[in-house]
A and B are shown apart, each in its own frame.
Chain A
Amino acid sequence: GESVGLHLPTLSVQEGDNSIINCAYSNSASDYFIWYKQESGKGPQFIIDIRSNMDKRQGQRVTVLLNKTVKHLSLQIAATQPGDSAVYFCADQYSSASKIIFGSGTRLSIRP
Chain B
Amino acid sequence: EAGVAQSPRYKIIEKRQSVAFWCNPISGHATLYWYQQILGQGPKLLIQFQNNGVVDDSQLPKDRFSAERLKGVDSTLKIQPAKLEDSAVYLCASSLTGLGNTIYFGEGSWLTVV
Q: Whole-angstrom distance between the alpha carbons of A104 and B38 in the complex?
A: 10
CB-based contact A102/B102 at 8 Å? no
Across the interface, do A104 and B42 meet the contact criterion of CB distance under 8 Å?
yes
Interface residue ranges of A28-73 to B (CB < 8 Å): 31-32, 34, 41-46, 49, 51
Task: Name, among A51, A89, A102, the residue most crowded by chain B CB atoms within 10 Å (CB to CB).
Answer: A102
Complex contacts, B44 vs chain A, CB 8 Å:
102
Total number of A-B contacts with CB less than 8 angstroms? 53
B interface: dominant SS: loop
How many chain-A residues does the 8 Å CB contact rule pick out? 24
Interface residues of B toward A: which range? 20 to 34
The interface residues of chain B lying within 8 Å CB-to-CB of A103 are: 42
Q: B91: which of A43, A49, A99, A101 is its contact (CB, 8 Å)?
A: A43
Seen from chain B, the residues whose Cβ lies within 8 Å of a Cβ on chain A are: 4, 31, 33, 40-45, 48, 55-56, 91, 93, 98-100, 102-108
11 contacts between A and B (CB under 8 A): A34-B103, A41-B107, A43-B108, A44-B91, A44-B105, A49-B102, A91-B42, A93-B99, A95-B99, A98-B31, A104-B40
